[in-house]
Amino acid sequence: MSSPLVLLPGDEIPSEYLPSTSSAPLRLGAGLRLLSQPHPTTKSSSTPSHVLTATQAGILSTDNKRNAVSILSSPHRRYIPTANDLVIAQIHHSSPDYFHCMITPQAPHAVLGQLSFEGATKKTRPMLKQGDLVYARVLSTGLGAGAEVELACVNPATGRAEPGGLGPLNGGMVFDVSTGMAARLMKASSSSTGEHQQEGVAGLVVLDELGKKLEKAGGFEIAIGRNGKVWVDCSNSGDAAVKATVAIGRCLTTLDQHELTAADQKKLVSRVLRELKIEV
């Protein structure tokens, strides 16, 4: 790919930037819309009758595998629920059938069925209190205005918590990061488990580095929500648990605010651990 294409609203997307595989239909992601030409003008015989234009400012991101195209806009934007996103939600209150959870403070509460947990029945359902955290998947965002966002901690088709880890988050601590950072962390953590890359995925090595360094202290658990929340739990590390949690949070928020190269990220991790007097 040549240099990334920066688009502003109203800009047309040149066809050479679109994924070239033509067999599958093109999937349009956020920030793009397909427009049709209503009035055939004098010169329209040569121009196509449909064009793709941007509606947000950002860089064009194409995925050849999925034949998808979208716009990466400002990483500090508000999280807007989309189906199948993994989010960390906080229980606000519960009603007989639903838990009402907060995904972002501005948005209306999302609903999470009392029974949409793995293996939950009327008797075994989790008893969540106000303020408890759940790692959930956005099931649907509803159609039309005023529709409620529905969450689930279970795949309704299989009745299992997939991907793994969905459900109540016990203990630990939540850190706020930007939505762009959350997306990057998810990308990094989802692919770095299998193949090892030197530069890390999405330019992030901080989690790998922290994992290596904190291994001796007992390691940590992490859950990343697309809504800009990161949950960290180090309960295995015994006495150093609090320190390690703080260290991870500090690394992530610093990284969110300052752009760091892979080498700088490693330095950051060592510095933070040293400052908190965590032995590695």
Partner 1 sequence: MVAPSATLSTLNRADGSASYQCPSTGSNILGSVNAPVELPGRRDALRPEDATIEVFVKPGTAPAGVGERYVEGILKTLLGRVILGREKGYPRRGVVITLAIIGGENVSRGDPYLILLPALLHTALLALLSASVPLSMTFSATVLAVDAAGQILREPSAEDAATAQSLHVLAFSSKGHLLLNESQGAFDLDTWEKVRQRASAICHGTQLVSADGDVAMAEDVDGRPLEGSLREMVEDQVYRDYNWQINAA
Partner 2 sequence: MAAPPPALTLPPSQFARLQPHAYLLAHLSPPASSNQPSIRANGRASSQFRPTSANTGSLTHTNGSAVVRVGDTTAVCGVRAELLPTSDIASWSVSRSGAANNAQQRQTSSNSNSNDEIDPEESQIQDFNLLVPNLSLSTGCAPGFVPGAPPSALAQSLSHQILALLHSTRLVRADDLRVWYQVPRLGETDTKGQGQGEGGMDVDDDTTTHGQGKREIKAFWALYIDIMIVSLAGNPFDAAWAAVLAALRDTKLPRAWWDVDNEMVVCSDAVAEARRLALRGLPVASSFCVFEADAAAGWRAVIVPDAEEEREIEESARKGMLRRWVLADPDGYEEGLSQERVCVVVDKVDGKTVIVKLEKNGGWAVDGRELKQLVEIAADRWEAVKEILEQC
Long-range contacts of 137-143 (CB under 8 A, 24+ apart): 137/84, 137/85, 137/86, 137/87, 137/166, 138/81, 138/82, 138/83, 138/84, 138/85, 138/86, 138/87, 138/110, 139/83, 140/83, 141/81, 141/82, 141/83
Out of 1, 39, 46, 95, the only residue in the binding site for partner 2 (CB under 8 A) is 39
Taking the least distance from each CB to partner 1, the nearer of 72 and 174 is 72
Parallel, antiparallel, or unpaired for β 27-28 and 68-72? Answer: parallel
Which one of partner 2, partner 1, none is in contact with 130 (Cβ closer than 5 to 8 A by kind)? none
The distance of closest approach from Cβ of residue 55 to partner 1 in the complex, given in angstroms and rounded to an integer, is 4
The distance of closest approach from Cβ of residue 37 to partner 1 in the complex, given in angstroms and rounded to an integer, is 14
Using CB under 8 A as the binding rule, whether residue 45 contacts partner 2 is answered as no
Taking the least distance from each CB to partner 2, the nearer of 37 and 261 is 37
Where does this chain bind partner 1 (CB under 8 A)? 1, 3-4, 6, 8-10, 31, 33, 55-59, 72-78, 80, 106-108, 141, 144-146, 180, 184, 199, 202-204, 259
The three-state (H, E, C) secondary structure of 10-73, written as one string: CCECCHHHCCCCCCCCCEECCCEEEEECCCCCCCCCCCCCEEEEECCCEEEEEECCCCEEEEEC
Using CB under 8 A as the binding rule, whether residue 173 contacts partner 2 is answered as no
The distance of closest approach from Cβ of residue 59 to partner 2 in the complex, given in angstroms and rounded to an integer, is 23
Residue with structure tokens 């427009």? 35
3-class SS at 196? coil
Q: Which residues pair with 106 in a beta bridge?
A: none
Print the binding letters for residues 53-92 with partner 2: x by CB under 8 A, - otherwise.
x---------------------------------------
The distance of closest approach from Cβ of residue 256 to partner 1 in the complex, given in angstroms and rounded to an integer, is 11
Using CB under 8 A as the binding rule, whether residue 51 contacts partner 2 is answered as yes
Using CB under 8 A as the binding rule, whether residue 42 contacts partner 2 is answered as yes
The distance of closest approach from Cβ of residue 44 to partner 2 in the complex, given in angstroms and rounded to an integer, is 9
| 146 Ramachandran zone, left/alpha/beta (phi>0; psi -120 to 50) | left
The distance of closest approach from Cβ of residue 53 to partner 2 in the complex, given in angstroms and rounded to an integer, is 8
Closest of 216, 99, 119 to residue 161, by C-alpha: 119
Give the footprint of partner 2 on this chain (CB under 8 A): 10, 33-39, 41-42, 51, 53
